[in-house]
Structure 1
């Protein structure tokens, strides 16, 4: 089922992606400012190069992907593959890098190869999510805050060298110190980082309060039960690649996260990718995820407009 409610759709009618974005750059910018999401459909493109040229017309100064949480490959300057998880895996809704001290204000997705089945990138208006989450849950997470605990180098998840894009422990130490993280080097060349962050944010332009965090994606309950049990048995409760707790370190109940997940499900918008679709979203207004899929599926992403947590 396709549901594009709240998303601006511009039909290119077979025009080249690069000239279309050049001619309609202001219209696209206004659509993102108004609705936070725009889909350009029906354009022709020659691949990554056309995507990169379109990004320049849209004012993108592509960001590097630092403090990574998922595996990606950089295919061009500031252009990455979307998360390289197995096709059977569903990626829950999240705002890019909302666990971090800085994040991109805008994202652009380009469909180079649509999946045979599934593979949508559903998006969700996180202001509506905030309204849909039970008031007692909002009050609890806002008052107590969140604590993100991440472990690198156990053989599960990312190695710290991949996550921070460096081979130098000193570089990692400086990054953590400058971004307000606690960190600890463990045995066997492993690293653990801890970041305290609020569960909500205020949009810098609209002033609207938003549900802006990685609670659903990082919480243990997002893992399949058998995977969760096996990882905890091997790595320990505090050894998972990604985890999120209340700010004081106490566990967040599964039912709390289930209530938030339900709010996302009720507010979500999704559509099937078509060849050479280009979607631009405000990363603080819309979360995104990924459905499981069959076939080759190749969706590229670029990030711009760095926002730093104040």
Structure 2
């Protein structure tokens, strides 16, 4: 964008020279188009610009069509090296340029979409000046012709001024407070529930006749199943405890993903051993 504006500015300086341009254009029209069709079309020329201000709705675009001709090489090359359509605010002198697509035979076209016009130009107090610039390297003098005015339909807020370097308002950072742990009363309450459930579980085992001797029998029949299941369950509980104390969720997922298959396989083996003893009437 900066390079293009520099080129356009250079062309404007060259145009101000007293030489007569070797570039001309003809068969020029400006059409205001929407999706529904063409709203209006106006012809113009180098000597007769658009007599009226063309209104550009927010859903439309301005289509420029014309034929470029070089007086030096009219039969071999009618394509300039630079071709732009410039819209300019006559009050602030702010402008925006649009590259013109020119073929070798001189047919030129450019679409100025409403959405591509900067907000600073949309909110201009006066109609925007529309200019065509043609130029090339060599001995050919450039051409800059004002062809008329367009008025974008803008109902938004007034454009804000440019951002200047300088002190900015103070930024006050509000950091998130440290996480709070559950109160000791709640922790003691749930701890008491866990202890109570453990006592009830041990009492139920005693009522059913589970004794330490049967525990040793189970370990002797399937040591890997029972020890693996019990150890993996304890390890999973420790992993959750570490997460509660301060570990990350990713560490918890990694640990549980390793321990869960071990608990599943060893638990299945322990249940098969228990089922075999129940079928034998040893439980």
TM-score by length of 2: 0.24
Structure with the higher fraction of residues in helix conformation = 2
Greater RCO, CA 8 A, separation 6+: 1
Larger radius of gyration: 2
TM-score by length of 1: 0.23
